[in-house]
Amino acid sequence: MYYARVVMGVLFGIFVFALLDYALPSRETVRITNTYNRLTAIPPSASIFWASDSTGTVENAQGQRDVRFIDTVRPNGRVRVYRNEDTGWVWPPYFKYDSANLQAMATNLQSPAGAPVWVNVSAYGWRMPWLSTYPNMISVRVVEGPNERPVNWPAMLICAVMLALLALLWRMWAQFRQRGQVRLNRWRT
């Protein structure tokens, strides 16, 4: 029983970490090389890594969706492909519905290797080639050079708020237990 509890605890910890790693915004300095949209088949097994159905996405009879993509190159030369989809009012709570504007901005910021324009993009999600999943781009802004890495304060702020909430819930739980004991003793006597 003890080992089962330890295993459950570790699995829960990994799950929470993975959830935060997936849903919190991350920032990366890249150069945009191409923007396009492509008919994409979304397998049911990986549908949680794409926009929800109720965000205004349209699928054709074959279950394919027209998805906007943004190709980028990192300063170290490795590529990173982003998708650009609305999240709407559904999970994760970014409430993004300006993907057309973002695509236009990204297209405007395209640059060749000879005359690079470095941008810092915020995105959430994972790139998993074997599942064909892509991080979803949230915002883009121009930075001075490839070495500039702005502080990811939104993720820090969210983590701080969640930690404070967790501490509060902890205190509330302790108080309820203690007072419950007092009340129980009163009732017994």
Partner 1 sequence: MGALIRLVLFLLVAELVFFVLLRLYLRSLRLERLERQWDARHPDAAGDTAARRAFVARAMTGFERSLKARLAWLVFVLPTAAVLAIVVLVNWR
Could you list the residues that contact partner 1 (CB under 8 A)? 52, 54-55, 88-90, 93-98, 101, 138-139, 154, 171-172, 175-176, 179, 186
For partner 1, the closer CB: 30 or 137: 137
Question: To the nearest whole angstrom, how small is the minimum distance from the Cβ of residue 113 to partner 1?
Answer: 28
For partner 1, the closer CB: 34 or 95: 95
Amino acid found at 145: G
Give the integer Cα–Cα distance in Å for 116 and 110: 8
Structure tokens at 148: 């500039």
For partner 1, the closer CB: 33 or 107: 107
Question: To the nearest whole angstrom, how small is the minimum distance from the Cβ of residue 88 to partner 1?
Answer: 5
Residue with tokens 């695509």: 103
Nearest in space to 31 (alpha carbons), one of 96, 105, 119, 99: 119
Question: To the nearest whole angstrom, how small is the minimum distance from the Cβ of residue 90 to partner 1?
Answer: 5
Structure tokens at 133: 């999943």
Q: What is the largest CA-CA distance in the chain?
A: 84
For partner 1, the closer CB: 10 or 100: 100
Nearest in space to 158 (alpha carbons), one of 12, 19, 14: 19
Question: To the nearest whole angstrom, how small is the minimum distance from the Cβ of residue 123 to partner 1?
Answer: 12
Q: What is the dihedral of CA 8, 13, 14, 19, to 10 degrees?
A: 120
For partner 1, the closer CB: 29 or 73: 29
Question: To the nearest whole angstrom, how small is the minimum distance from the Cβ of residue 112 to partner 1?
Answer: 26
